[in-house]
């Protein structure tokens, strides 16, 4: 935050560039209250977007064309559209209805679903856009609709109201010019945040006062980062001279956030509508594609090739057959020789298209709708899971996208953050070191003692003045806010006061200082108040706050004491502090820092620096210039910070305990047992992270650790040479000397467990080596070493490096499925990079949750999410995909075989009604119910035996081997259906009156056997029966019989011809037909019955009956 008290800097109206700033580009100027600054120029309002929020995708006029365009981009839908058009244009053997109606059903269902979802978005948008707001006009508050707010309007917002757009905070009823805001609707952070008005506008607390403000705001163009804003406020006096004040994210009130514990505020609109940060963040991101979707596309290509092959074969054989004089066309279709010779090529092409139409149902267009419904409905099982509900948070698991449900069952690499993910992120002050002397105010659980609140406990003694300096640093160097009355969203400290901070570390340090007798009392009129051990209140003027950022890994404050001394207090990671203090001071404290890190504590070092008044004036000017910059402000401020935070003196260090979350160790062991590699990516120092890894059993006592860190590289002059030596040494040890069997690289490792530790600086060398020789192989050698390690710890990682590691592993040969899990904003990059991103609903806000695919309350819930939900989702959808291709092959193969017995005349085997309804009504519901409810193994077994996860790993059920298995099964059943009925028709009169049934009866018998077989096959594969399974399986069969009687028992006047009239009833009147149907169903299902019987016999001879898997896995080796 910027609470700097600056000297007034005045510039002439003509000067539009602050000192040191280059030409500005990509900025906007906002005139507050739409008042022109120049007396001579007329005010022309700049054109900005209005304040309407539009989260909807469609409008009434563009819904139909836009939705159709999007749906027909899918290859299967577009294919069926082409087939439908061919049927309409070309004289094909089947009615256009046979392909048009299924396509219409699929398109309509999807359009209704998407239209309803968009209608809900329209309704939500209108609730926001039509809400009432108050805008200051002519010194009065005028009520308007939210959508009518314009950039430059001065808006009044009252307590518990949400901000209607992005506002620059001008003033409030609070004399200090602050307000409390909760951004829970934006980033999920329940803690209250303090925002600040510029000092010159803070006193404008009434509409008539704020309406007198002559000012402009220059700021950056809209961008989606919630935590970044760069601008400046130019306040003009009567002489048109202005005072420039910097604006940052602490001055920007975001749309969607809510005002708390402040009666009213006034702010000027700078971003409206879809240009607000909330609007920019609501826009969709690129979708991730699962391995199952890729397999479906591959199988679809194969079946398209089969379709084209069938059509080509039949087209060729038709003309071969007709070339024989005795096999001429039927008498009713006979043409003259002139007609035959005319347009022969066109006739061949139309015949080919006719066969394509006849066999087009081999492509399962309805599968896409079923898959979407399965994913959408199946995702609710995750949200409804009571075992993944956390009572403390009052929240359960969250599904942000259902497209990756099955991917949860294919994870090979898990990348996890440490703080807040593996640990509680609930900090507790343990001890400190001052000038090399160790102090302990309480004993932690690590020591085996209970917590003791009492006088200062120390080992040795530093000077009292240094003790006071250290404790004052803890009380001053932070961004903690304090509130006397407890309200929701605040962390309550001792004696009823409440600390507000986005960092649990800072609260722990402030409370730790209080145990030693120094109490932080908050900020009043820009003065920080501290009560010392003598109960005296000390006042420190807050001059500057140098906020923490992950690159610097430290934060500082500059304060002025009551005696006029100007001090800088800095705290940060030892790696960011030690290089900036004298070496002799480091040696005194370093031993305690390393010892605490080995004990698993989070360590911070504290330093200070005193400025001479002239020196301060210089850095104050540099800070002001950097803060005024509209372009590259962050880079400029970083350079100034680096100069300020130099040549400091080390005071001491702190140790804070962050306990492991519940069942973290058990979860990691389960993930290892399931064949997953777990990598910890953290910004913590190596010793702390290493200790945590042992505590959570990522590293075992038998694990041999290999280190690639700054310490092991040692020599600064030849770091890359030493890295090259270590990489070759580890590669020889793990790869060359430990050969593996084929196929074991991804999911298993050698009997000797190895663990690897690497830090951020070494990783940079690996990825960006400058050595000429062998440098290109560094990355490959490193990856081969990592693949042979059971666990990898990456410490001192920057957020971007986390994403680089995930991408590096994603690109390994074989493209293993990766999962990243974290709780903080610094984890977002790796969450977005991984195949599956998991957010933990922790205490560092909800940026990770908002950017994730799934969110869980605790790390322990990852076990059930992957081993149970992931396993079941994958098995269900894999069975669904294979089953769809199988049943459509069974459906079309008899149609293909029938052409050999009808002179390739394109005569359909099935009636048009059967062709139309097969995929839509007769066979769709049983597989949908199966794919939602099936549990081939009990949930308890999946949880207790993680090794079952490996049986479905590497997309086992959707590889070419199972695909060929299902294709062979479909071919076998199709042959049985057709030839079984065909040979029964050879020499037997089937009707009681001796009449031989015709081709429509023949087709009806084949179709009946087909429907019953594919449905009963699914029943055989079902292991978990519910009333829903019974209802849809037996209900579908009953519906088919009822429909056939109903359709063939009534004369339908709107049909041109009714081929099936009384066919079904007459067919079932024959006992022989019943015998054929039952016999052929049994023959078709015999392989499945045999496999189930053999499997049950095998299981009965084994103790682990829970190892039973569906029939479709019976082919899998190992």
- How confident is the model over 706-716, as pLDDT tens digits? 888 877 776 55
- Per-position b or e across 428-448, b if 16+ CB within 10 A of its CB: bbbbbbbbbbbbbbbebeeee
Q: Is residue 504 over pLDDT 90?
A: no
pLDDT given at position 598:
79
Q: Is residue 4 over pLDDT 70?
A: no
Contact call for residues 179 and 194 (beta carbons, < 8 A): yes
Contact call for residues 810 and 786 (beta carbons, < 8 A): no
The answer on whether 827 is annotated among ligand-binding residues is yes
CA atoms of 63 and 755, how far apart (whole Å): 55
- Reported confidence tier of residue 751, pLDDT bands at 50, 70, 90: very low
Contact call for residues 855 and 902 (beta carbons, < 8 A): no
List the structure tokens of 872. 């079941």
Most confidently modeled range among 588-592, 916-920, 964-968: 964-968
CA atoms of 769 and 780, how far apart (whole Å): 13
The answer on whether 421 is annotated among ligand-binding residues is no
Average pLDDT for residues 613-622, to the nearest whole number? 90
Q: Is residue 1016 over pLDDT 90?
A: yes
Pairing of strands 677-681, 411-416: parallel
CA atoms of 756 and 730, how far apart (whole Å): 10
- CA torsion 846-850-853-858 (nearest 10°) is 10
Give the residue among 242, 267, 263 at the shortest CA–CA distance from 254.
Answer: 267
Lowest-confidence segment of 52-61, 383-392, 505-514, 973-982 by average pLDDT: 52-61
Q: Is residue 1057 over pLDDT 70?
A: no
Continuous segment of H or E residues that includes residue 846: none
Lowest-confidence segment of 207-221, 546-560, 948-962 by average pLDDT: 546-560
CB hemisphere CA count around 118 (13 angstroms): 17
**In terms of pLDDT, which residue wins out, 746 or 552?**
552
Q: Is residue 475 over pLDDT 90?
A: yes
Average pLDDT for residues 838-862, to the nearest whole number? 81
Write the pLDDT tens digit of every residue in 197-228: 998 898 888 898 998 899 999 998 998 877 78
CA atoms of 53 and 272, how far apart (whole Å): 9
The answer on whether 826 is annotated among ligand-binding residues is yes
CA atoms of 963 and 242, how far apart (whole Å): 74
Contact call for residues 259 and 375 (beta carbons, < 8 A): no
Give the residue among 474, 458, 473 at the shortest CA–CA distance from 507.
Answer: 474
What domains does the chain contain, in order, with CATH numbers? 10-16+24-51+149-281 (2.70.150), 398-421+668-856 (3.40.50.1000), 423-657 (3.40.1110.10), 871-1113 (no CATH)
Per the annotation, the verdict on 417 as an active-site residue is yes
- Reported confidence tier of residue 1009, pLDDT bands at 50, 70, 90: very high
Q: Which residues contact 363 (CB under 8 A, 6 or more apart)?
A: 76, 79, 80, 300, 303, 304, 307, 888
Average pLDDT for residues 781-805, to the nearest whole number? 86
List the structure tokens of 54. 């539009």
The answer on whether 823 is annotated among ligand-binding residues is yes
Q: Is residue 1010 over pLDDT 90?
A: yes
The answer on whether 178 is annotated among ligand-binding residues is no
Residue % of the chain over a pLDDT of 90: 30
Q: Mean pLDDT, the chain, as a whole number?
A: 81
- Under DSSP, the state recorded for 284 is -
Give the residue among 768, 640, 782 at the shortest CA–CA distance from 708.
Answer: 782
The answer on whether 959 is annotated among ligand-binding residues is no
CA atoms of 365 and 955, how far apart (whole Å): 23
pLDDT given at position 577:
92
pLDDT given at position 18:
39
Average pLDDT for residues 892-918, to the nearest whole number? 89
The answer on whether 697 is annotated among ligand-binding residues is no
* Residue of 153, 166, 187, 417 marked catalytic: 417
Write the pLDDT tens digit of every residue in 321-375: 877 766 666 655 556 666 566 567 888 888 888 898 889 888 887 888 888 889 8
Q: Is residue 872 over pLDDT 90?
A: yes
pLDDT given at position 1052:
65
Lowest-confidence segment of 209-213, 446-450, 830-834, 873-877 by average pLDDT: 446-450
Average pLDDT for residues 566-579, to the nearest whole number? 91
> Which residues partner with 178 through β-bridges?
196
Q: Is residue 444 over pLDDT 80?
A: no
3-state DSSP helix/strand/coil percent for the chain, to nearest 5?
45, 20, 35
pLDDT given at position 365:
78
Write the pLDDT tens digit of every residue in 618-650: 998 888 888 887 778 888 888 899 999 999 999
The answer on whether 6 is annotated among ligand-binding residues is no
pLDDT given at position 282:
62
Contact call for residues 502 and 189 (beta carbons, < 8 A): yes
- Reported confidence tier of residue 843, pLDDT bands at 50, 70, 90: low
Write the pLDDT tens digit of every residue in 128-158: 889 999 999 988 999 999 999 999 999 999 9
The answer on whether 684 is annotated among ligand-binding residues is yes
Contact call for residues 720 and 771 (beta carbons, < 8 A): yes
Q: Is residue 451 over pLDDT 50?
A: no
**Ordered DSSP codes for 855-917:** EESSTTHHHHIIIIIIHHHHHHHHHHHHHHHHHHHHHHHHHHHHGGGTTT----SS-HHHHHH
For the chain, the first-to-last Cα distance in angstroms comes to: 60
Lowest-confidence segment of 178-192, 736-750, 972-986 by average pLDDT: 736-750
List the structure tokens of 664. 């973290």
pLDDT given at position 715:
58
CA atoms of 811 and 739, how far apart (whole Å): 22
Average pLDDT for residues 862-880, to the nearest whole number? 94
Phi, psi of 533 (to 5 degrees): -65, -20
CA atoms of 978 and 967, how far apart (whole Å): 17
Q: Which residues contact 364 (CB under 8 A, 6 or more apart)?
A: 76, 884, 885, 887, 888, 919
pLDDT given at position 134:
94
Most confidently modeled range among 173-177, 642-646, 751-755: 642-646
pLDDT given at position 743:
42
**In terms of pLDDT, which residue wins out, 1051 or 781?**
781
The answer on whether 419 is annotated among ligand-binding residues is yes
The answer on whether 50 is annotated among ligand-binding residues is no
- Reported confidence tier of residue 888, pLDDT bands at 50, 70, 90: very high
**In terms of pLDDT, which residue wins out, 715 or 686?**
686
Q: Is residue 1027 over pLDDT 90?
A: yes
- Reported confidence tier of residue 674, pLDDT bands at 50, 70, 90: very high
Average pLDDT for residues 808-825, to the nearest whole number? 87
pLDDT given at position 1100:
62
Give the chain's length. 1118
- Reported confidence tier of residue 459, pLDDT bands at 50, 70, 90: very low
**Ordered DSSP codes for 449-497:** ------S-EEES---HHHHHHHHHHHHHSS--EEESS--TT-EE-GGG-
List the structure tokens of 545. 């706050």
Q: Is residue 480 over pLDDT 80?
A: yes
- CA torsion 430-432-436-438 (nearest 10°) is -50
- Reported confidence tier of residue 112, pLDDT bands at 50, 70, 90: confident
The answer on whether 683 is annotated among ligand-binding residues is yes
- pTM recorded for the entire structure: 0.74
Average pLDDT for residues 47-72, to the nearest whole number? 86
The answer on whether 506 is annotated among ligand-binding residues is yes
Contact call for residues 705 and 623 (beta carbons, < 8 A): no
Lowest-confidence segment of 517-526, 537-546, 772-781, 946-955 by average pLDDT: 772-781
Q: Is residue 453 over pLDDT 80?
A: no
Give the residue among 492, 481, 487 at the shortest CA–CA distance from 522.
Answer: 481
Average pLDDT for residues 228-233, to the nearest whole number? 89
Q: Which residues contact 911 (CB under 8 A, 6 or more apart)?
A: 1000, 1003, 1004, 1059, 1060
CA atoms of 405 and 874, how far apart (whole Å): 7
């Amino acid at each position: 935050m910027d609470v700097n008290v600056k000297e007034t800097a005045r510039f002439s109206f003509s000067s539009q560039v602050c000192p040191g700033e280059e030409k500005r580009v990509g900025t906007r100027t906002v005139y507050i209250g739409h008042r022109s600054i120049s007396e001579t120029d007329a005010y022309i309002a700049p054109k900005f977007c209005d304040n309407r929020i539009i989260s909807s995708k469609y409008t009434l006029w563009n819904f139909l064309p836009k939705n159709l365009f999007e749906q027909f981009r899918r290859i299967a839908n577009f294919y069926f559209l082409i087939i439908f058009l061919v049927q309409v244009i070309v004289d094909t053997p089947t009615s256009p209805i046979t392909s048009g109606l299924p396509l219409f059903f699929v398109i309509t269902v999807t359009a209704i679903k998407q239209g309803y979802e968009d209608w809900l978005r329209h309704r939500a948008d209108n609730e926001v856009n039509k809400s009432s707001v108050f805008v200051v006009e002519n010194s009065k508050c005028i009520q308007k609709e939210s959508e009518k707010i314009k950039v430059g309007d001065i808006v009044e917002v009252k307590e518990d109201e949400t901000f209607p757009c992005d506002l620059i905070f001008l003033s409030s009823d609070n004399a200090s010019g602050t307000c409390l805001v909760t951004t829970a609707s934006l980033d999920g952070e329940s803690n209250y945040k303090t925002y600040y008005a510029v000092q010159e506008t803070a006193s404008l607390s009434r509409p008539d006062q704020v309406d007198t403000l002559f000012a402009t705001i220059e700021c950056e163009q809209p961008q989606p980062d919630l935590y970044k804003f760069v601008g400046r406020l130019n306040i003009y006096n009567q002489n048109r001279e202005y005072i420039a004040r910097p604006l940052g994210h602490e001055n920007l009130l975001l749309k969607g956030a809510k005002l708390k514990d402040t009666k009213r505020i006034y702010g000027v609109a700078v971003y409206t509508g879809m240009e607000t940060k909330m609007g920019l963040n609501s826009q969709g991101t690129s979708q991730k594609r699962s391995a199952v979707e890729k397999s479906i596309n591959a199988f679809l290509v194969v079946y398209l090739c089969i379709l084209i092959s069938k059509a080509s074969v039949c087209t060729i054989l038709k003309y071969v057959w007709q070339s024989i004089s005795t096999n001429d066309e039927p008498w009713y279709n006979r043409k003259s020789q002139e007609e035959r010779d005319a347009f022969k090529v066109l006739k061949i092409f139309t015949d080919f298209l006719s066969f394509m139409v006849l066999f087009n149902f081999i492509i399962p267009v309805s599968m896409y709708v079923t898959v979407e419904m399965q994913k959408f409905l199946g995702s609710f099982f995750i949200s409804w899971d009571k075992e993944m509900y956390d009572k403390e948070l009052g929240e359960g698991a969250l599904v942000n996208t259902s497209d990756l449900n099955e991917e949860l069952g294919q994870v090979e690499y898990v990348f996890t953050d440490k703080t807040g993910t593996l640990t509680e992120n609930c900090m507790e002050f343990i001890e400190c070191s001052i000038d090399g002397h160790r102090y302990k105010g309480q004993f932690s659980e690590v020591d085996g003692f209970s917590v003791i609140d009492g006088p200062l406990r120390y080992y040795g003694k530093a000077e009292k003045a240094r003790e006071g300096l250290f404790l004052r640093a803890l009380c001053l160097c932070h961004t903690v806010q304090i509130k006397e009355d407890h309200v929701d969203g605040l962390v309550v400290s001792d004696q009823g006061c409440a600390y507000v901070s986005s960092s649990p570390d800072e609260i722990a340090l402030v409370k730790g200082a209080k145990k030693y007798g120094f109490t932080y009392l908050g900020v009043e009129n820009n003065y920080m108040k501290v009560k010392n051990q003598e109960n005296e209140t000390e006042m420190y003027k807050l001059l500057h706050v140098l906020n923490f950022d992950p690159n610097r890994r430290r934060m500082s404050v500059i304060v002025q004491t009551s005696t006029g001394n100007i001090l800088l207090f800095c705290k940060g990671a030892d790696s960011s502090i030690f290089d900036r203090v004298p070496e002799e001071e480091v040696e005194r404290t370093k031993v305690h820092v390393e010892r605490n890190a080995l004990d698993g504590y989070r360590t911070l070092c504290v330093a200070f620096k005193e400025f001479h008044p002239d020196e301060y004036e210089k850095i104050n000017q540099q800070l002001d210039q950097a803060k005024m910059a509209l372009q590259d402000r962050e880079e400029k401020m970083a350079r100034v910070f680096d100069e300020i935070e130099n040549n400091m003196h080390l005071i001491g260090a702190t140790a804070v305990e962050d306990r492991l979350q519940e069942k973290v160790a058990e979860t990691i062991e389960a993930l290892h047992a399931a064949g997953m590699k777990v990598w910890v990516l953290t910004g913590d120092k190596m010793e702390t992270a290493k200790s945590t890894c042992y505590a959570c059993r990522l590293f075992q006592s038998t694990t041999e650790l290999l280190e690639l860190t700054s310490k092991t590289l040692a020599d600064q002059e030849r770091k890359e040479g030493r890295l090259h030596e270590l990489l070759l040494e580890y590669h020889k040890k793990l790869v060359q000397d430990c050969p593996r069997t084929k196929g074991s690289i991804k999911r298993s490792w050698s009997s000797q467990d190895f663990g690897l530790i690497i830090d951020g600086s070494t990783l940079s060398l690996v990825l960006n080596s400058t050595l000429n020789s062998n440098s290109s192989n560094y990355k490959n050698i490193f990856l081969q070493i990592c693949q042979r390690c059971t666990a990898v710890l990456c410490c001192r990682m920057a957020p971007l490096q986390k994403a680089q590691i995930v991408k590096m592993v994603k690109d390994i040969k074989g493209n293993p499925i990766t999962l990243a899990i974290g709780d903080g904003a610094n984890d977002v990059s790796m969450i977005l990079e991984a195949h599956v991103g998991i957010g933990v609903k922790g205490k560092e806000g909800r940026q990770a949750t908002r950017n994730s695919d799934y969110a869980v309350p605790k790390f322990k819930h990852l076990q059930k999410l992957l081993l149970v939900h992931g396993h079941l989702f994958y098995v269900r959808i894999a069975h669904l995909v294979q089953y769809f291709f199988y049943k459509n092959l069974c459906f079309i193969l008899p149609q293909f075989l029938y052409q050999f017995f009808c002179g390739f005349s394109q005569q359909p085997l099935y009636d048009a009604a059967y062709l139309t309804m097969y995929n839509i009504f007769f066979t769709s519901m049983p597989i949908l119910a199966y794919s939602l409810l099936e549990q081939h193994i009990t949930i308890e077994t999946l949880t207790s035996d993680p090794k079952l996860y490996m049986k479905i790993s590497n997309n086992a059920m959707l590889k070419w081997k199972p695909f060929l298995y299902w294709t062979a099964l479909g071919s076998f059943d199709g042959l049985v259906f057709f030839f079984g009925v065909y040979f029964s028709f050879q020499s037997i009169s089937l009707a009681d009156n001796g009449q031989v049934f015709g081709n429509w009866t023949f087709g009806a018998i084949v179709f009946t056997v087909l429907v019953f077989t594919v449905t009963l096959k699914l029943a055989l594969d079902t292991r978990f029966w519910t009333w829903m399974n019974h209802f849809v399986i037996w209900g579908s069969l009953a519906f088919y019989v009822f429909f056939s009687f109903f359709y063939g028992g009534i004369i339908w006047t709107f049909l041109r011809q009714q081929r099936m009239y009384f066919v079904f009833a007459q067919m079932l009147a024959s006992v022989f037909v019943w015998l054929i149907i039952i016999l052929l169903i049994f023959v078709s299902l015999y392989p499945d019955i045999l496999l189930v019987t053999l499997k049950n016999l095998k299981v009965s001879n084994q103790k682990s009956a829970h190892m039973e898997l569906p029939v479709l896995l019976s082919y899998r080796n190992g």
